[in-house]
Chain A
Amino acid sequence: MTTILDPTSEQVPEGRQQTRRPESLSGLTVGLLDISKPRGDVFLDQLESRLTGLGASVNRYVKPTFAKPAPVDLRHEIATSCDAVIEALAD
C-alpha cells in the first residue's frame, strides 16, 4: 500500500443553496455589473430598460478593469443594496 500526501489546499468550498428565484421582479432592486469590456454598456442599457419595464429598479455598477476580480468594497456594496444581480460579459 502506498501512502501519498495530499497536494491540494485540503479546503473544499462549502456548498451553498441558491437563493430562491423571486416570483416577480416588481419592486425589487436589480444590480447590473459592467465588467468594463467593450460594448458591455450597450447590452446592459438594453437590459436596464427591459427590467425597468418589469417594475424593477436598477442600480448600475462598473468594475475598474475586466482583467481583475471586482474590489471587495464593490462586491459588498452590491450584495447589501441589491435583491438580484446580473453580471455581464460582452465579448
Chain B
Amino acid sequence: MTDAARGAVPDGLVAVVKRDCATCELVAPLLAELAESQPITVYTQDDPTFPADADWVVDDTELAVSWHNDIETVPTLMKVAGGEETDRIVGWSVEQWRAFVGNDTLGDGLPDFRPGCGSLSVDPTIAPKLELAFGDTTMAARRVELAELEDESEAMFDRGWTDGLPVVAPTEARVLAMLEGTTRDPSDVVAIVPPNLHEATVEKVAINAVMAGCKPEYLPVVIAAVEAICTDEFNMHGVLATTMAVGPVFVVNGPIRKKLAMNSGMNALGHGHRPNSTIPRAVQLIVRNIGGGFPGGIDRSAQGSTTKLGLMIAEDEEGSPWTTYSQDQGFDAGVDTVTAFCSEGPHTIVDQKSRTPESLLRSMAQMLSHSLSPRMVMGMDAMLVISPEHMARFAEAGWTKERFLAELEPLLAVESDTIIEGVDGIDEGLPAGFAGVTLPKFRPGGLQIVHAGGPAGLFSSILSGWVAGEKGSLPVTKEITA
C-alpha cells in the first residue's frame, strides 16, 4: 500500500478517537447513534473495540490515518466527499456537532462543551517515529547498522565517537526529534569545523547533540556555540593544538537561560544541570567527530583540562546590579547570546574576611596578577566569575562595573623590573629589554567579568585564558536564534 493510500479515508463522516480520552468516551454513544442513520467511519488510536466492536470502527493503532490527516486533537470529526476532506471540527461542542451533522437533538443532556484530548500522533515520544515511517525525511547521514548482539554504548566507544564517557545512540527517531528544536534546514551548513575543516550541517550538529544528551530545545544554543568557535577570531585549531591546558568555555546570556532551565546558582561552574553539561559537551563532540580534533592527534595538550569536556556558565543576570556580560560585548539586554572564551579550568579566590569593596578588590587583584604566572603580562586574558556574596560587597557600596574596572587597573599594573628573566632566581620572565617600565597585567578588554554562583560562599573564580588577541584567540559572542 502506498503512503498516500494509508492515509485515505472513505466518503461520509469520519471520526478519529481514542479510548484514553474522557471527551471521546462522552461522544462514543453519539457516534453509534450516527452510524445507524448515515455512513460514518470511526478510526480508533488505542483500542480497536472502542467506541464499539462494529464494522464502522477501524483500527488505527499504527496511527497512519491520524498522521496523514494531521489529526492533533481527539475527537476530530471530518466530512469527506469525493475522497477530499471538506470540513472538520474538534473536541465536543453541542452546537458545533448539531450543525455539522444536521441533527437538532444530537447529544441531548450532555454538557455544552468539552475540549478534546491530544492525538497520539502528535505525542512527542511517538511523532518522530511516525515522521520516519510516513514522512519525507531528508536526513542525509550515512546509516550505521549495529549488530543484534552489539551493545550501543560499546559500539560507539569502539568507533572512537565519544569523549571518554558513554553517549546516547543517535537513532533516526532521536535525531529527527532533535531537529524539531530548530527552524533551520537539516542540510544548512552551520560552520566549517577545524582542524580538518569539514562541514557541520544542522543534521550533523543534531546527531552529536543527541549523543551528548541534549534536548531538542537546546539545539539553537549548540548551533550558535559551534558558529562561535569556528571563527578565525576564536581560532579553534590553535586552541586545540596548543600544548597548554585550554578549551572553549561558554557564557550564556538572555531569557533562554530560564527557558532551558539553565543553572546560574549553586554549582554554576559545576555539574548536575543538563543544559549546562550537555550543550558544551555537544560542541566538543562536534570538534572531535566532525572536525577530527582528537586528543593525541591535533589536540596536543600536555595536561588537558576539564574545559575540554565542556563548561557552560549561565550568567546570573537577575542577581547582579551590573550590566550583563553580553551587554559588555555590545548586545542589547534581553537578546539571547552565547560567548566562547578560550580558558583553562576555574581557580577559586578565597576571601572570607573583606567587608569593604576596597579590601575585596585588592584581594582579587592579587590573585588575578598571578593568573597563569605572575611573570606573564598582557599576553593572556582571564575571566573573573564573581559570586553573589562577593558581588554584594560592591553592590552595597554602589560600585558600578566601570568603577570596579577603573579601581582594579592600577592594582594590576606591574613594575617590569620585578618580572625580568632571572630576577629572584627564576628564569621565566620578560627579556631584559623590558626593564624600567610599568605594564598592565591584561591587554585592554582582556579581563572578562561574569556574575554567577550560589547565594552563600565568599568565593569567586578566575578562568585563565590563552594567547590573547588576533595572534591567538579572542572571545566570540553569537546571537542564539531559532
Mark A residues whose CB is within 8 Å of B: 1-11, 13, 64-65, 67-69, 91
Given contacts A3-B145, A67-B242, A91-B243, contact A9 B199 (CB under 8 A): yes
* Residues of chain A lying within 8 A (CB to CB) of residue B141: 5-7, 10
* Residues of chain B lying within 8 A (CB to CB) of residue A7: 141, 161, 170, 204, 207-208, 211, 285, 289-290
- Select the stretch in B56-64, B256-264, B318-326, B467-475 that faces chain A: B467-475
Asked whether, in the complex, the Cβ of A8 is within 8 Å of the Cβ of B289, the reply is yes
Minimum Cβ distance to chain B for residue A1 (Å): 6
Number of A-B residue pairs, CB cutoff 8 Å, is 89
Q: Within 8 Å of chain A (Cβ to Cβ): is B72?
A: no
Q: Mark B159-182, 1 if CB is under 8 A from A, else 0.
A: 001000000011110010000000
Closest chain B residue, CB of each to CB of A38: B431
Q: Within 8 Å of chain A (Cβ to Cβ): is B196?
A: yes
Give the residues from 425 to 475 in chain B that come closer than 8 angstroms, CB to CB, to chain A: 466-467, 471-473
Give the residues from 385 to 422 in chain B that come closer than 8 angstroms, CB to CB, to chain A: none
Give Cα A68–Cα B170 distance, bound, in whole angstroms. 33
Asked whether, in the complex, the Cβ of B144 is within 8 Å of the Cβ of A4, the reply is yes
Minimum Cβ distance to chain A for residue B378 (Å): 15
A5, A8, A91: most-surrounded residue (chain B CB, <10 A): A5
Query: Which of B146, B237, B471 makes the CB contact (< 8 A) with A2?
Result: B146
Minimum Cβ distance to chain B for residue A59 (Å): 23
Give Cα A9–Cα B243 distance, bound, in whole angstroms. 25
* Residues of chain B lying within 8 A (CB to CB) of residue A10: 141-142
Closest chain B residue, CB of each to CB of A6: B142
Mark B residues whose CB is within 8 Å of A: 139, 141-148, 150, 152, 156, 161, 169-172, 175, 193, 195-196, 198-199, 203-204, 207-208, 211, 235, 237-238, 242-243, 285, 289-292, 466-467, 471-473
Asked whether, in the complex, the Cβ of B148 is within 8 Å of the Cβ of A1, the reply is yes
* Residues of chain A lying within 8 A (CB to CB) of residue B147: 1
* Residues of chain A lying within 8 A (CB to CB) of residue B171: 2-5
Given contacts A7-B285, A8-B290, contact A69 B237 (CB under 8 A): yes
Query: Which of A5, A13, A67 makes the CB contact (< 8 A) with B143?
Result: A5
Closest chain A residue, CB of each to CB of B160: A8
Asked whether, in the complex, the Cβ of A5 is within 8 Å of the Cβ of B207, the reply is yes
Give Cα A69–Cα B152 distance, bound, in whole angstroms. 37
* Residues of chain A lying within 8 A (CB to CB) of residue B170: 4-5, 7
Given contacts A67-B238, A68-B238, A91-B243, contact A5 B144 (CB under 8 A): yes
Given contacts A4-B170, A67-B467, contact A9 B196 (CB under 8 A): yes
Asked whether, in the complex, the Cβ of A2 is within 8 Å of the Cβ of B152, the reply is yes
Minimum Cβ distance to chain B for residue A90 (Å): 12
Give Cα A91–Cα B207 distance, bound, in whole angstroms. 38
16 residue pairs of the A-B complex, CB under 8 angstroms, read: A1-B146, A2-B171, A4-B143, A4-B169, A5-B172, A7-B285, A7-B289, A8-B289, A9-B289, A9-B292, A65-B471, A67-B473, A68-B238, A68-B471, A69-B238, A91-B243
Closest chain B residue, CB of each to CB of A11: B198
Asked whether, in the complex, the Cβ of A68 is within 8 Å of the Cβ of B235, the reply is yes
* Residues of chain B lying within 8 A (CB to CB) of residue A13: 196, 292
Asked whether, in the complex, the Cβ of A67 is within 8 Å of the Cβ of B471, the reply is yes
Asked whether, in the complex, the Cβ of B144 is within 8 Å of the Cβ of A3, the reply is yes
Give Cα A1–Cα B149 distance, bound, in whole angstroms. 8
Given pairs A2-B171, A6-B207, A7-B211, 6 additional interface contacts (CB within 8 A): A4-B146, A5-B143, A6-B143, A9-B198, A9-B204, A67-B473
Give Cα A30–Cα B193 distance, bound, in whole angstroms. 32
Asked whether, in the complex, the Cβ of B146 is within 8 Å of the Cβ of A3, the reply is yes
Minimum Cβ distance to chain A for residue B205 (Å): 10
Asked whether, in the complex, the Cβ of A67 is within 8 Å of the Cβ of B196, the reply is no
Give Cα A68–Cα B143 distance, bound, in whole angstroms. 35
* Residues of chain B lying within 8 A (CB to CB) of residue A91: 243
Give Cα A91–Cα B467 distance, bound, in whole angstroms. 15
* Residues of chain A lying within 8 A (CB to CB) of residue B242: 67
Minimum Cβ distance to chain A for residue B249 (Å): 17
